[in-house]
Amino acid sequence: MSRSLRELPKVHVHVHLDGSYPLPAVQALARRRGAAFAVPDRFETVWDFFDAYGTVPQLVEDLDDLAGLCRALVRAEAEAGVRFLEPAIEPQLYAPRLGSLETVARATVDALQAAGAEHGIEVGANLTINTDQDEAIAAELARIAAVLAGRGVTALGTAGFVEPAGLARFAGAARIARDAGLQVVSHAGQTGGPESVREALDELGATRISHGVRAVEDEELVARLAAERIVLDVCPVSNVALGVVAALAAHPAPALAAAGVPVTLNADDSLWLGSDVVAQYEVAREVWGLSDEALAGLAGAGALVPGLSATGRAALETDLAAWLAAEAAA
């Protein structure tokens, strides 16, 4: 028998809040609304996936509902062995219905922080701009991120399944975040090619890339990511479910890690994909054939995520060593 992947200390930092609430918590909320909620076994197209995605925020009627879902998420992540959780939050999914962008963002990070304290894990937040939104909303989100830097927000992100050229239009927002000491985390190299990753690095000053798997198509870029210690927050099960990668066995993460690129494993949208962070490590062990040392190496890449405190980083490294040192369960 091998070591428990649930007990492997992990960071989990590519987690879209609104696609990651635990199913029982969403079902309980739906019942309170007099509705049923189920996750389809499969989606005909990726667009059906994104349509379904919007149904959860609609169940949320006030900030208490939202806080309850945040608490449920943090609890589930703590139970999955997550030591640092940095959900991507999009207050724009709830504002102005539940309040201003800033009110919703504050309520979200407060709920996440309180739940982190309750369950003994560190929690940050990646305040995320959707790339189909305009520069004005982006600038407002960046302003809010800057206000909440040090109070629960640890990054400013950009996200969008289709990665069009033109990330440069968010350069002003990215600058506001960087000036506030936040890192910029950009979705790129998922549907967009290596050029989208370069654009995130060069135009936004991104220091982490959400996905980034298509960087593997460009040797020079892979060497740059390794040299600059740019972390790729990859999501193997999501990539296959959404047709980005043909099969788990063909996923580029092991090759990227072998080339020296820091890679973390993440669930992306565990509610809709039915696959949590532990399942990503199961893929790494069972499909990619990685040893426990290599799995601990992937988990250890999480130490490079700046949102994690120095204390949290030291504890992660100590606990990873302890996980490896412990005899595999009989």
Print the binding letters for residues 19-38 with Zn ion: x by CB under 5 A, - otherwise. Answer: --------------------
- Which range of residues in 148-156, 163-171, 209-217, 289-297 is near Zn ion by CB under 5 A? 209-217
Candidate ranges 79-87, 148-156, 261-269, 317-325; the one touching Zn ion (CB under 5 A)? 261-269
Minimum distance from CB of 35 to Zn ion (Å)? 26
Instruction: Give CA–CA dist 113/71, Å, rounded.
Output: 9
Is the Cβ of residue 90 or residue 122 nearer to Zn ion in the bound state?
A: 90
CA angle 181, 89, 4 (to 5 degrees): 95
Report the sign of the C-alpha dihedral through residues 133, 72, 104, 208, in that order: negative
Contact (CB, 8 A) for 81 and 8 = yes
Tell me whether residue 142 or residue 188 sits nearer to Zn ion (CB atom): 188
Residues 105, 56 contacting (CB under 8 angstroms): no
* Closer of 7 and 161 to Zn ion (Cβ): 161
Return the range that interacts with Zn ion (CB under 5 A); candidates 97-105, 133-141, 262-270, 285-293. 262-270
Rank residues 108 and 210 by Cβ distance to Zn ion and give the closer one.
210
What is the phi/psi pair of residue 234, to 5°? -95, 155
Minimal distance, residue 179 CB to Zn ion, in Å: 25
Size of the site for Zn ion (CB under 5 A): 2
Please identify which residue in the block is written with the tokens 């207050």. Answer: 91
Tell me 98's DSSP state. T
Least gap, CB of 295 to Zn ion (angstroms)? 22
Closest by CA to 91, choosing from 63, 121, 124, is 63
Identify which of residues 184 and 296 has a Cβ nearer to Zn ion in the complex.
Answer: 184
Going residue by residue from 162 to 201, which x/- string records binding to Zn ion, judged by CB under 5 A? ----------------------------------------
Its sign, for the CA torsion 232, 280, 40, 123, is: negative
Q: Which span (105-113, 121-129, 140-148, 202-210) binds Zn ion, by CB under 5 A?
A: 202-210
Measured CA distances, 269 to 22, 45, 105, 139, 240 (Å): 10, 16, 20, 26, 13
For the bound state, the minimum distance from the C-beta of residue 159 to Zn ion, rounded and expressed in Å, comes to 6
Binding mask 267-306 for Zn ion (x = CB under 5 A): -x--------------------------------------
Q: Rounded CA gap, 14 and 302, in Å?
A: 11
142: amino acid identity, one letter: A
Where along the sequence are the contacts to Zn ion (CB under 5 A)? 210, 268
